[in-house]
Chain A
């Protein structure tokens, strides 16, 4: 994972967060978050637990509601308008820490559900696309199994394939490897690296600093609901500017 990957072109703006604030009751979780993400950019968010990094990316498809500020994704602003929220969600794929596959559906059905019901794709076409992405995450042979019959790493790769089947413009990863056994982390990371090489716009909350070094264009460090520091990975790891960042890095890199 050490050699840097090919760098696809970074072009237009994809996500704008301007002065975003969020509270859980009295608790101020996000404080004045400003973030611009261009198409093809790969961003890693890191920071101690409770720093608001997951909440930040969950605001981008409105799994969490922000109370102040503006969030625009692919030209659509996220407001209370359900139509707009669903429009954004169609274009933004998400991969969760606990996979969240639908246990009552087979792997293939998991992958075809949204394309068929949201994109109104005919079943055959949806299955074709699903098989294409299952091959990409290298588990086409599991297509007719149920999620409960797969290992954690396989389930997470299915979850990635499922998100890709919607042909999203942005992929959000919320600690995709944190719930995996150590020997399965690599297969998931390799899949994500492959995705990055194809030019997917990615925002990834992770503690995998090796992944951040290889894949990211930008690493963002958050603490106590604020973006404390951001930089391109080499500079970020070798020359952190902020006291808090230094402490964090010293704690996670042994």
Chain B
């Protein structure tokens, strides 16, 4: 009988691995790519040194007034002096601990959800989602149990930005999922309602929605009845963004093979269990990039509340730059705003990458 001898495994050619291999594959794989690499390097050389010079080397970091900025670079003193306003808006300074505590509670409360060994995670998460908003509202707004009332008109800065973004995300996601399910429902009435809702909110600009909620809505309400401006903005943001989320989620639902629905139905799962246990977990995983994309744009769109006179981070900074004592600090202010926005958006993006990896069960067919 013949036996076949298999050839041994050989190492790959030296030029295709390591630093040299990486450079060749990624930066210099063709003459055109080499040209692009050199051009990009030239651009970096053109932009980066002056930027570093301005932002770090020639910058002024300590001081109290504009007069302390003498070296010609960035005047970070401005940011430092107005930091409190940028973070809290007009929230009374002696009560700012309440904002800090709210944030810490969010971090501490959510932390167990990121511990893999945690048991009954779902139950805890649900409890957190129910309890935390109540506590957060009580802490921020006050008005009972001995806490002084801080009306929402005094909220501002990064705190307001985070409140709008967090409430917007927490409200728009579940509503969007329901709308997506409704749009694919077998019941014509529900389908028509959902389609109309989605197409209406997708068809109007957010700025119009905010403007209407602030200016037009009070005209239609009966005399003497009014409700909080921030509340109206929040509802506007939730309804607007839920339409986008709905369309993203619908994309995911459509990507789930029919066989999954059939297998779930065949074992006797009803509609809600089939969706909740089998279809949505898969669909949501597929659309993480799209959902995070919507969240990031929602986060940045919060700055549109400037149109209805709410002082979010950007508006607080804009306000500060018009202060006669700090004229000419617009660049520093907007760079700071950009940096803060970027940190949050990049954070969300990284977290979504991490989630996608964690949830990948290698089932691509």
Whether the pair B268, A86 counts as a contact (CB closer than 8 A) is yes
Q: Which of A71-96 contact B (CB under 8 A)?
A: 82, 86-87, 89-90, 92-94, 96
Contact of A89 among B265, B282, B362, B363 (CB under 8 A): B265
Stretch at the interface among A43-51, A142-150, A225-233: A142-150
Judged by a CB distance under 8 angstroms, whether A166 is at the interface is yes
On chain B, the residues within 8 Å of A148 by CB distance are: 361-365
* Minimum distance in angstroms from B285 CB to a CB of chain A: 7
* Minimum distance in angstroms from A189 CB to a CB of chain B: 21
Judged by a CB distance under 8 angstroms, whether A103 is at the interface is yes
A198-B176 Cα distance, complex, nearest whole Å = 49
Judged by a CB distance under 8 angstroms, whether B47 is at the interface is no
* Minimum distance in angstroms from A89 CB to a CB of chain B: 4
On chain B, the residues within 8 Å of A5 by CB distance are: none
Whether the pair A90, B268 counts as a contact (CB closer than 8 A) is yes
Q: Which of B273-332 contact A (CB under 8 A)?
A: 273, 277-278, 281-282, 285
Whether the pair B268, A113 counts as a contact (CB closer than 8 A) is no
Whether the pair A103, B363 counts as a contact (CB closer than 8 A) is yes
Chain A 150-177 interface mask (CB, 8 Å, partner B; 1/0):
0000000000001100100000000000
Whether the pair B267, A146 counts as a contact (CB closer than 8 A) is no
On chain A, the residues within 8 Å of B282 by CB distance are: 102-104
A86-B265 Cα distance, complex, nearest whole Å = 8
Query: 26 pairs across A/B with beta carbons < 8 Å?
Result: A61-B266, A63-B262, A63-B265, A63-B266, A82-B270, A86-B268, A86-B270, A87-B268, A92-B266, A93-B267, A98-B259, A100-B260, A101-B263, A102-B260, A102-B278, A103-B282, A103-B361, A104-B281, A114-B269, A117-B269, A117-B277, A118-B267, A118-B269, A148-B363, A148-B364, A162-B267
On chain B, the residues within 8 Å of A102 by CB distance are: 260, 263-264, 278, 282
A92-B262 Cα distance, complex, nearest whole Å = 13
Interface size on B, residues (CB 8 A): 24
**Which residue among B277, B282, B365 has the maximum number of chain A CB atoms within 10 Å of its CB?**
B277
Q: Given contacts A96-B259, A96-B262, is CB(A113)–CB(B267) below 8 Å?
A: yes
Smallest CB gap from A172: residue in B: B266
Judged by a CB distance under 8 angstroms, whether B359 is at the interface is yes
Q: Given contacts A63-B262, A90-B268, is CB(A104)–CB(B273) below 8 Å?
A: no
Main secondary structure of the interface of B (DSSP, over half): helix
On chain A, the residues within 8 Å of B265 by CB distance are: 63, 89
A89-B273 Cα distance, complex, nearest whole Å = 14
Interface size on A, residues (CB 8 A): 28
On chain B, the residues within 8 Å of A100 by CB distance are: 257, 259-260, 262-263
A86-B278 Cα distance, complex, nearest whole Å = 17
A-side residues, CB < 8 A to B, are 61, 63, 82, 86-87, 89-90, 92-94, 96, 98, 100-104, 113-114, 117-118, 146-149, 162-163, 166
On chain A, the residues within 8 Å of B278 by CB distance are: 102, 113
Smallest CB gap from B263: residue in A: A100
* Minimum distance in angstroms from B42 CB to a CB of chain A: 46
On chain A, the residues within 8 Å of B364 by CB distance are: 148
Q: Given contacts A96-B259, A100-B263, is CB(A147)–CB(B363) below 8 Å?
A: yes
Whether the pair A146, B268 counts as a contact (CB closer than 8 A) is no
Smallest CB gap from B260: residue in A: A100
* Minimum distance in angstroms from B275 CB to a CB of chain A: 12
On chain B, the residues within 8 Å of A90 by CB distance are: 267-268
On chain B, the residues within 8 Å of A96 by CB distance are: 259, 262-263
Whether the pair A104, B266 counts as a contact (CB closer than 8 A) is no
A150-B352 Cα distance, complex, nearest whole Å = 27
On chain A, the residues within 8 Å of B277 by CB distance are: 113, 117
A90-B263 Cα distance, complex, nearest whole Å = 12
Q: Which of B229-270 contact A (CB under 8 A)?
A: 257, 259-260, 262-270
A86-B270, A93-B267 known; 12 new pairs, CB 8 Å cut-off, are: A61-B266, A63-B262, A90-B267, A94-B266, A96-B263, A98-B257, A101-B263, A114-B269, A117-B273, A118-B268, A146-B363, A166-B267
